Structure 1
Amino acid sequence: MIAQTNWKRNLYILMGSQFLVMSAMTMIIPFLPLYLQELGVTDPDAVSVWSGLIFAANFVTAFIFAPIWGRLADKYGRKSMILRSGFGMAVVLTLTGFATGPWTLLLLRLMNGMISGFIPAAIGLMSMSTPKKQMGYSLGMLQAGAVAGSISGPLFGGVMADIMGFRMIFYITGASILVAAFVVLFFVKEQFEPVEQKEKTSTIDDFRTITAIKPIMALYMVFFIVQAALIGINPLLSIFVQELRPGGNVAFFAGLAMSVMGFANMGASPILGRFSDRKGHQYVLLFSLLFVALVSFPQAFVTSYWQLLVLRFLLGLGLGGLLPMINSLLRNHAPVGMESRTYGFSNSFMYLGSMIGPALGGLISGVFGIRSLFLFSGVLLMLNVWIVYSKVIPRLEARRQSAVGVSK
């Protein structure tokens, strides 16, 4: 384990690096359909189809490869996986600026998903080097850095695309991620000691071993449902804003609705993380899920844009108590020597939710209307409340009482 005097330095460096990576990755999202038009796809229906495929491609390969990178991280160290992802994405994103058509762009997005994992590897490194009493605060701070990047990226990307053109943005994103990788290479310290495996195991064997420990499988399901419930709304949010506020500047006001949620998330994550270190990660997770679910339902009934804006801000506050808490609980219950594999499988569930959510959201919206998405999201989040209350907390309480009995 790394010396405790180094964990805060690593935390601040990785926060800054995650900000750069998330800024770079989200710079390109707003104008992918426009870039396709520049590459020769002019038919509106074809642009929609290609945009969906290219957006999903990144998640498909990331879903497949996340457990593989987790296994290698347990064998070779978490820092090595951060560097693999950082330098790899820098190359792939730079090459994306040289794309010659939609098939080339699709292939490069598949490659990007395959080698991605910078942020999960950073979470794994910090979870292993942070004292357990400060785990929630540490992962909450990392979350704040990533969210700050996701807020800034689309803004910077839109401005620079207007000034420099689309291809130049990919060169800038590649350079930004390259800087982040070099910062990690020279300034992040990890004293990695691999745990010897008694016998070779397959990915399926690893999954069975990890999920045999309660409540890890329940936490994976919570992660999956959170992503599906919340990401499923995002692609259609601009249409809902247009319904609430007909007229110009729809993109700006849709972006503002996303940004206020991000700012609230960024501010709440460290505070809720520190609070969870004192009161218990599972309880903050439970009440955050309940709060997010209760805030989701009223969004279906808003009559003005400003009502939606307030509710999205409140939603962001609750989000600050979700992912850092899940990651903290996973770290506390991961098998020794399989910590990164535990995170690798959790990331696969996250990517699966990110794929299924928008597809399911589009289907539900088409049948029942956009407002039904908020009701559906609230129901899914209430299901998560039940999972945490009935499957996670009782297991942790039983384990705590067992530990108290042993100590006596």
Structure 2
Amino acid sequence: MKADAARRRSLWFLWGGQCLAIAAMEMSGPFWPLFLRQQVGLHGEALVLWSAALIAAPMMTAFATAAFWGRVGDRYGHKWMVLRALLGLALTQWLIALQELPLLILCLRLLQGALAGVIAAAMAYGLQLCTAHTRSRTLGYLQSATAAGTLMGPVLGGLVSDLWSYTQIFQVAAAACIGVALVMLFTLIDDRKLASARTLSTEAGTPSLACTRTIVQGLLLALVLSQIARMMPQSFFALYVEDSMPGSNMLIGVLYGASGLAMLITAPLWGRRLDGQHRDVVLLQTAVLAMFSAALMLLHTLEQNLWSLLALRFAWGICLAAMMPSLFGLLSQLRATSGRSVGTGQAAVKLGNFSGYLLGGLVAALLSFSLAFSAVALTYLLLALWLWRLRLHSLSQPGMEKETGHVTPV
């Protein structure tokens, strides 16, 4: 009972720490062009290009290093990976505030992607705290922390920039990350000392090793597709809102925040619903949500008013809240170590983020907003078809028809 209480307490501190760390990271998100104009003196096309490069840069190096940090965490403990990510974020944010050359800032952003990775580290640590029957619930719980931080960050960044300057955004973020790291150092239990090892049962009816690897690869591709579809609108949505319903920047922020609010509210609920469900049921539900997301994207091509667009964004956030816990929960069932599953999964996520951000901007620039949303819808339809195919493959394997989520770990 004492160990269970310690785990619950650690999970609470993990949620709060992740929320604050994401808020610190997102404080600078909307203000990169303004920071570069003030600090570096960039204008015009150069300002746009450097802003896009600096936003995308951490995704590239995070994709390359996520699996490595996951394996290190499996060996030395994921608590230390959480602390490493926080201190890496603090160091790079502080150094960025001191730079005046865009190339140096780009190098620091690349370093940030390689050293940080707060979400991946927190997910791997959280999976060490939970049981095999509460994986999706824990992942949904932590996703709500990410959503809360994403909502808080831009507001805090705007407040800091109004009180001081854009440079202070990075300094305040660095100080916040150091404070969170100190609290977590003394409040999180060491996951290496947890009594119950995270091993998955094997049974005679479970599928072969080759089959398991095929399903893992299929889930990784599903993660890539889901994140491409998620990130594509990010690169042009603000311009779409400005073009379709001119108003203040606050309107854009409210519409951005609608999907985040939906994720904050519904991610834990989705997690509880997904726990204990058979794999083919989870795959089917996720495929249906992908089809529903495609329909929501197509509805963006119709003439919108504020309330209908708010409803679309909120409904899309509900779908997003289920997809990550679904896919990561299934992936963690198929991998014997949480760091390995989260690391490879996060590498797929970063690849999808980077690809989606660039692809969305390219399609919107060359074609139109309507066709860009149609391209997002097509990506969601491809995801739905892929998940349906993966479900059929899963059901065709010996042992998959049993009402169990356990498979041979790889």
Structure-1-length-normalised TM-score: 0.89
Q: CA deviation at 1:278?
A: 4.1
1:103 alignment counterpart: 103
- C-alpha deviations, 1:40-65, integer Å up to 9, x for none? 33331111111111111111111111
- The answer on 1:316 being equivalent to 2:317 is yes
- The answer on 1:371 being equivalent to 2:366 is no
Contact 1:4 1:131 in 2 (8 A): no
1:200 alignment counterpart: none
Residue pairs, 1:192-271, within 5 angstroms: 192=192, 213-246=213-246, 248-249=247-248, 251-271=249-269
2:275 alignment counterpart: 277
- C-alpha deviations, 1:177-227, integer Å up to 9, x for none? 1122122211111341799xxxxxxxxxxxxx9996241111111111111
1:286 alignment counterpart: 287
Q: Helix, strand or coil: the match of 1:401?
A: coil
- C-alpha deviations, 1:368-402, integer Å up to 9, x for none? 20121221111111111112222146416744436
Whichever residue aligns with residue 317 of structure 1, its letter is I
Relative to structure 1, the CA distance from residue 211 to residue 128 in structure 2 (aligned partners, 3 Å threshold; closer, same or farther) is farther
2:134 alignment counterpart: 134
Relative to structure 1, the CA distance from residue 215 to residue 392 in structure 2 (aligned partners, 3 Å threshold; closer, same or farther) is farther
d(CA) in 2 for partners of 1:296, 1:260: 15
d(CA) in 2 for partners of 1:333, 1:146: 24
Q: Helix, strand or coil: the match of 2:95?
A: helix
Relative to structure 1, the CA distance from residue 116 to residue 183 in structure 2 (aligned partners, 3 Å threshold; closer, same or farther) is same
Relative to structure 1, the CA distance from residue 236 to residue 186 in structure 2 (aligned partners, 3 Å threshold; closer, same or farther) is same
Residue pairs, 1:3-402, within 5 angstroms: 3-192=3-192, 213-246=213-246, 248-249=247-248, 251-280=249-278, 281-334=282-335, 336=336, 338-392=337-391, 394-395=393-394, 398=397, 399-401=399-401
- C-alpha deviations, 1:118-150, integer Å up to 9, x for none? 211110111122012222211111100110000
- C-alpha deviations, 1:84-141, integer Å up to 9, x for none? 1111211221121111221221121111111011211110111122012222211111
d(CA) in 2 for partners of 1:216, 1:371: 34
Contact 1:24 1:173 in 2 (8 A): yes
Contact 1:229 1:357 in 2 (8 A): yes
What is the percent sequence identity of the aligned residues? 27
d(CA) in 1 for partners of 2:304, 2:146: 32
Give the number of aligned pairs.
387
Q: Helix, strand or coil: the match of 1:321?
A: helix
Structure 1's unaligned 5+ residue stretches are 196-208
d(CA) in 2 for partners of 1:9, 1:179: 18
Q: Helix, strand or coil: the match of 2:213?
A: coil
Relative to structure 1, the CA distance from residue 137 to residue 402 in structure 2 (aligned partners, 3 Å threshold; closer, same or farther) is closer
Structure-2-length-normalised TM-score: 0.88
Whichever residue aligns with residue 180 of structure 1, its letter is V
Relative to structure 1, the CA distance from residue 327 to residue 397 in structure 2 (aligned partners, 3 Å threshold; closer, same or farther) is farther
Q: CA deviation at 1:235?
A: 2.0
Greater Cα offset, 142-151 or 117-126 = 117-126
Whichever residue aligns with residue 315 of structure 1, its letter is W
Contact 1:284 1:321 in 2 (8 A): no
2:204 alignment counterpart: none
Q: Helix, strand or coil: the match of 1:302?
A: coil
2:203 alignment counterpart: none
Whichever residue aligns with residue 65 of structure 1, its letter is T
- C-alpha deviations, 1:326-376, integer Å up to 9, x for none? 111111111x2x431222121111111111112111221123201212211
Contact 1:210 1:216 in 2 (8 A): no
Relative to structure 1, the CA distance from residue 40 to residue 320 in structure 2 (aligned partners, 3 Å threshold; closer, same or farther) is closer
